[in-house]
Structure 1
């Protein structure tokens, strides 16, 4: 009887008919396919524009709710055999108030802007987004319905021009069809579409071609329909990008100070991007340059027990990255640090989506997770890395998928197998589930990387915080032979216009590992429940008010309590494009293990009660200035000494648009921890970036990240750290971008250190680098 019930349930899911995809009742336009040459110059002189479909952006969807748009915006659309063309005429009663800046790609958010949102399969899974400011500066991203996230890491090659006029501004756009995955076997295309304008004044008004129902949680389900592109073909989608990278690195020891050692490196690489079919894309790379052109944002690593997360920025991994996403972060390609070669195949046919990625790596790097700490392990061996993702969408409100990852070197391997599903039984309800299983084998001596002393082979009998070289990473890596583990996550969300509720349960086994992903906590089971209410005041300074909270509890797999937390918060959106959020968190959680050689929590740790208040805001007091402020104050565990302290964190940020082409970003994080007896540490992190966008194609960028941590060693109970730590990294970078893959970079970077043994900041590293690449489009 149970099997029959389950079978009927699955059949009902697979046979669900849904109206969630682009709907002609929302908005409909039929576009012609025209012939003739086009010049993308910001003017609409070509005769094709006279035959194009004409569309009006009639509605304001935010902050007002589907009211008449406050300004007039007209769009014209047509297609050729190889491109989609869109022209926007954005009228403005006060053109002098238009916010426009010369910016690099994906850097002009906050400006006046027009955009196109396209779901080329009209199945509510992914949407391409293209936004353009009045000078033609480009922003592109991909919205992923499965994860609910938008990623601007993807960069396509497309063309735009903009100009400010006496009536407002106008923009001309060409989107080559080679950008898109779509089924060109169809004689006529039906794509989901929304045309959008952002009109930032006291508030940032979002204008659209159609109404958006706030009582429907799915946004991609509310696109309109664009019909046309008759006979559209993707054409030969072949892109060959050779590159030359040269750098000279000078480095030295500074304690004691040694002579400079020089190292020069010149590398030639080749990238291939081949659209085998309109729905199947092959990426391949040989000897790629995977260096970071721009420094990662500074992060303060003090009083942390878990590894820091850095996002992926490298083009090879980002192309069709969304094809690999699932509810769990099982694929985090920053774990592939320096490959010699790589290949990636992504494909979508009807209801089937496939992605396969394979690379080597000159070393093996992965995360060692735990329930109280995590860290990065490195093995000096070449590794082979494979990730595969398959997703099946039998209906528009149900999908199932699987993920497989493999990471292997000589005496190490990690294999992960996972399955997942997403089901939306109504416009307000979403259920997701994912299960993963892993098989892992570590090198026999891997644990020695995390052993603080000479010998961790034998577990001492008198181990405590003060005299033991053991820690959780030693315990998690001291494994004999192959070991297995599993993980699963269940979520349910109910989201309406005025209120929402959600719940989640996640269980991660002791021996589960996802070494190609970023799962930093194992041996933990967490339950979360939360909800909130939303108001939309009219004729008020604040246009949206949200009040909510959640409660969660976490245990080990043996039922020992790790943490219990309750949080309430209040969030407001309003004038001066302001966002304000504040709340209070009350939690009970455990500190360090008293016996580091014992994995147990009960009778081996003590619990601490913490109450923390937080406040965050960002707003634009004037057009040229954006201010942010993040404040935390309250109880916080002093993890080094296993006691309670008082945390003060103050993090202001300023973005100053000095001119329309020069912008200064300054961020400073000030953090202290006070304990009985005085101030344990004071930490400062300053991140300063100055960008001069000489033109839409070229820029000069300066950045400096400075960290200064001062400790009082007399207040440390179990160790004697340095009283002073200073770190300074600088970078000067000139860049010219013909497009995201045809680039020239010339730069210099250096690094300075100081400590108790090194009185002042002393240079230890300097690098001169150059990169040139050119994308041949065949």
Structure 2
């Protein structure tokens, strides 16, 4: 799934109810949950006698695309609790059950199916909410929604239980949510924010809810209803031990010249410990963990790009209560901790106080070197120690104030960051966020040599220009004497109503600011953004939502020299065939390369380029098993290799085909060219194929293959001589059995091939056989 598509999908799932500027309220919806003695067997049948004593509610409203109209189908839900778990029984009636969309899928992969959902804010303070989704066959999805950042992450995986079945009247789903999943206050009787949901995808995806939703409000979690009851909940201390064993055999060889295979066998045992000290306090620890990437990252095309690529975190230890560390800026990106021997994390919430502490070592030191025209990754071959601490005070549902400290340190290197942030929602339409951070950094004396375009960067080459200079921006950003320090300031104001919104945003980042435990790739700049838009909700039309938006922004370096000025307009539609269509045009004046790379100056040291680019993105489902997606860019682009203007053509189709109930094929291809005045500079192709056979809800076989092919015309490169052809191919075949997200067995094979001007055909240079087994003991 592409990053843009996932963001669109998650945004559509986040259309939450809002009737006041406060946390969940009984005026929206109220549910009293009885506490019974016996739990239910999760088998998709509701035949236990305790269901007769459960509270029953109905999902009466369609909130999207219809605006709080009567639900087109009937959905009834029974709810009760024991001292250990919450139980839900959904009966989803359907007048045409043959049209129900239900597929066997891995966790978080059943979007587009019929689904039921549960949303719980256990502190009822409109800050975080747990979300659980289940399709008619019991395939699970879960996520955490963070109101402070406006983000929703499906990376979190809890251990809970569900099973569904299709009937002649629709389908039914039975769910058990163990209380050990949740952080919640220790009080005699709980009051939680709640919403029960059903997604009913036909020509459009109808979102059904227990209560009405006001679109005339910017807060999302403030509109939940309330669930009371759960009297005297005191779950036993939640202890989870997850030992793991990982074995692999990796073989690699050089290809130019070709060398014999070098084989390396490795067997590692590890242990993860998860201790719920109390309902509000969680301790995670890991010893010799397996932090290998079991599943391949999505392919990304790194061509004509001056900035480092971003990859999401997928590792369980870092994901548990990850949201406790989030701020408006990405000051903690844990993929910067690559190979730890141990890690410790403590998270707690006491009344209006939230605290998190993370500590881990790393076998090496890796971080991002940022700039205002480029960024890159630096590596120091020595161990590092990494610490992050976050505190947040929620004065009420409108005001939150927080602080964060991070530290990354090795023998002759350190980076310390201290930050404070605030979010204030004075009305249901207005949101103000602000953040300040200060950093202190010291680099090793010779770190800059990593980025040298030559043998030595102790001094710039004579008559330095970008045709022959040994210097570049990364050299200048790391060639520092002693400790450096600097600040970043950020403030944003948003006014959001049902039909229109406006925003103003300003950020200023000092040239020596660094956040090496996070992902801050731009420094030495200030940026001002102003924009807004208007929304329509047509009735009796193919399109149910239309949005026109635009913004203007300008960026300078800290010396006041302009880097970029940009204006953008866009138009978006949502409608029939579960369609989403968006298009726009961007015009900007942007600087190119530095003419003298040994200087950071912009004015008199760069050329200005007027760039106009149009874009189109959309997807739709013409028939149930098939989803088609297309992303197109066409227009001007700066050729950063030659410091000139070219014409970019990018065409990126994607097909999701549910071949059978259990077999799914996802294929995408990105075709990109850059034409300059003298001809075609390059043609790049990236193909990404994922074939998944879900043998059961617990087991699957997955084939992944990512192929890159780049052809360049070396005669059009004025300042370097690249390969005419570059190819690489990575394959992975994986069998997985998941009893739950932490109790898993993986067996797989991966390999890599490469070709270039010196290697005339794709030749294998890496192959790995691997196995992982882990089991979560719940004590």
Identify the TM-score tier after normalising by the shorter chain.
over 0.9
Cα distance in 2, alignment partners of residues 454 and 380 from structure 1:
19
CA contact (8 A) 2:158 2:741 kept: yes
In the alignment, what sits opposite 2:98? 96
What residue is the counterpart of 1:657 in the other structure? 658
Deviation at residue 396 of structure 1 after TM alignment? 1.0
User: In the alignment, what sits opposite 2:417?
Assistant: 416
Residues 295-310 of structure 1 aligned to structure 2 (within 5 Å) = 295-310=296-311
Q: Which residue of 1 aligns with 2:247?
A: 246
Flag structure 1 segments of 5+ consecutive residues without an equivalent. 1-17
Paired position in structure 2 for 1:14:
none
Residues of 2 paired with 1:483 and 1:625: CA distance? 54
CA–CA separation in structure 1 for the residues paired with 2:626 and 2:379 = 43
For the residue of structure 2 that corresponds to 1:672, the secondary structure is: strand
TM-score by length of 1: 0.97
Partner of residue 109 from structure 1, selected from 105, 108, 111: 111
Counterpart residue number, 2:473: 472
- How far off its partner does 1:662 sit? 0.3
Scaled by the length of structure 2, what TM-score is found? 0.97
Give the Cα–Cα distance (whole angstroms) in 2 for the partners of residues 36 and 297 of structure 1: 44
Q: Where does 1:624-643 land on structure 2 (aligned, <5 Å)? A: 624-643=625-644
Which residue in the other structure is 1:6 paired with? none
Matches within 5 A, 1:121-270: 121-183=123-185, 185-270=186-271
Equivalent position SS for 1:606 = strand
- Partner-residue secondary structure (3-state), 2:83: coil
Q: Residues of 1 paired with 2:633 and 2:476: CA distance?
A: 33
Q: What is the distance in 1 between the residues matched to 2:40 and 2:232?
A: 19
CA shift digits 1:53-112 (9 cap, x unpaired): 010100000000000000000000000011000000000000000000000110001100
Question: After alignment, is 748-757 or 454-463 more displaced?
Answer: 454-463
2:37 alignment partner in structure 1? 35
Aligned partners of 2:21 and 2:428 also within 8 Å: no
Q: Deviations over 1:122-156 (max 9, x none)?
A: 00000000010000000000000011111000000
Quote the Cα distance in structure 1 between the aligned partners of 2:47 and 2:581: 46
Query: What is the aligned partner in structure 2 of residue 290 from structure 1?
Result: 291
Trace 1:406-485 onto structure 2 (pairs within 5 A): 406-485=407-486
Using the TM superposition, give the Cα deviation of residue 231 of structure 1 relative to its aligned residue in structure 2, in angstroms. Answer: 1.5
Query: CA–CA distance in 2 between the matches of 1:341 and 1:414?
Result: 20
Preserved CA contact (<8 Å) 1:177 1:233: no
2: CA distance, partners of 1:178 / 1:381:
39
Residues 81-92 of structure 1: pairs in structure 2 closer than 5 A? 81-92=83-94
Match of 1:338 in 2: 339
Separation of aligned partners in 2, 1:344 and 1:57: 39
3-state SS, counterpart of residue 606 of structure 2: coil
Q: Give how far 1:36 is off.
A: 2.0
SS at match of 1:178: helix
Aligned to 1:230, the other structure's residue is in SS state coil
Q: CA shift at 1:459, angstroms?
A: 2.4
Q: Distance in 2 between matches of 1:19 and 1:402?
A: 24
User: Which deviations, in whole Å up to 9, do the C-alpha atoms of 1:462-490 show, x marking residues without a partner?
Assistant: 10111111100001000010010110110
CA contact (8 A) 2:340 2:361 kept: yes
CA contact (8 A) 1:273 1:283 kept: yes
Cα separation, 2, equivalents of 1:368 and 1:37: 54
Mapped to 1, the partners of 2:336 and 2:41 lie a distance apart of: 43
1:278 matched residue in structure 2: 279
Given that 2:39 and 2:87 are in contact with CA atoms closer than 8 Å, whether structure 1 keeps it comes out as: no
2-side partners of 1:181 and 1:515: how far apart? 30
In the TM superposition, residue 236 of structure 1 has moved relative to its aligned partner by: 2.2
Residue of structure 2 in register with 1:12 after alignment:
none
User: Do 1:524 and 1:556's aligned partners in 2 also have CA atoms closer than 8 Å?
Assistant: yes
Is structure 2 residue 683 aligned with structure 1 residue 682?
Answer: yes
Number of residue-to-residue matches in the alignment? 760
Using the TM superposition, give the Cα deviation of residue 233 of structure 1 relative to its aligned residue in structure 2, in angstroms: 2.1
Is 1:53 the counterpart of 2:55? The answer is yes
SS at match of 2:324: helix
Deviation at 1:230, TM superposition (A): 1.2
Residue aligning to 1:7: none
Match of 2:345, SS? strand
Q: How does 1:378-417 map to 2 (within 5 A)?
A: 378-417=379-418
Residue of structure 2 equivalent to 1:70: 72
1:340 and 1:554 mapped to 2: Cα distance?
A: 42
User: Displaced runs of 4+ in structure 1, greater than 3 A?
Assistant: none
Matches of 1:756 and 1:654 in 2, distance apart?
32
**In structure 2, distance between residues paired with 1:463 and 1:216:** 56
Q: CA deviation at 1:38?
A: 2.1
Report how far residue 367 of structure 1 moved: 0.3
Q: State the partner residue of 2:751.
A: 750
Cα distance between partner residues in 2 of 1:699 and 1:399: 43
User: What CA distance in whole angstroms lies between the structure 2 residues aligned with 1:164 and 1:714?
Assistant: 63
| SS of 1:592 mapped into structure 2 | strand
State the alpha-carbon separation in 2 of the partners of residues 396 and 112 from structure 1. Answer: 33
Residue 8 of structure 1 is matched in structure 2 by: none
Cα pair 2:647 2:675 within 8 Å, conserved? yes
Residue-by-residue CA offset, 1:204-231 (whole Å, 9 max, x unaligned):
0000000010001111100001011111
Work out whether residues 673 and 682 of structure 2, in 8 Å CA contact, stay in contact via their aligned partners in 1: yes
Deviation at 1:235, TM superposition (A): 1.7
Residue matched to 1:4: none
Q: Distance in 1 between matches of 2:561 and 2:40?
A: 68
User: What is the distance in 1 between the residues matched to 2:373 and 2:459?
Assistant: 22
Summarize deviations over 1:589-618 as a string: whole Å, max 9, x none.
000000010110110001000000000000
Deviation at 1:632, TM superposition (A): 0.2
Corresponding residue for residue 15 of structure 1: none
Cα deviation, residue 460, structure 1: 3.0
Q: Which residue of 2 aligns with 1:373?
A: 374
Q: Return the alpha-carbon distance in structure 2 between the equivalents of residues 160 and 717 of structure 1.
A: 61
Whole-Å separation in 2 of the counterparts to 1:36 and 1:765: 54
Instruction: Name the counterpart of 2:121.
Output: 119
CA contact (8 A) 2:612 2:636 kept: yes
Which residue does 1:702 correspond to in 2?
A: 703
Matched, 1:517 2:523: no
Shift of residue 37, structure 1, vs aligned partner: 4.3
SS of structure 1 residue aligned to 2:475: helix
CA shift, 1:19, in A, is 5.1
1:577 is aligned to 578
Q: Give the deviation of 1:461 after TM superposition.
A: 3.6
The separation in 1 between residues aligned to 2:216 and 2:50, in whole angstroms, is 40
Q: What corresponds to 1:44 in structure 2?
A: 46
Could you tell me how far apart the structure 1 residues matched to 2:536 and 2:467 are? Answer: 53
SS at match of 2:474: helix
Give the structure 2 partner of residue 561 of structure 1.
562
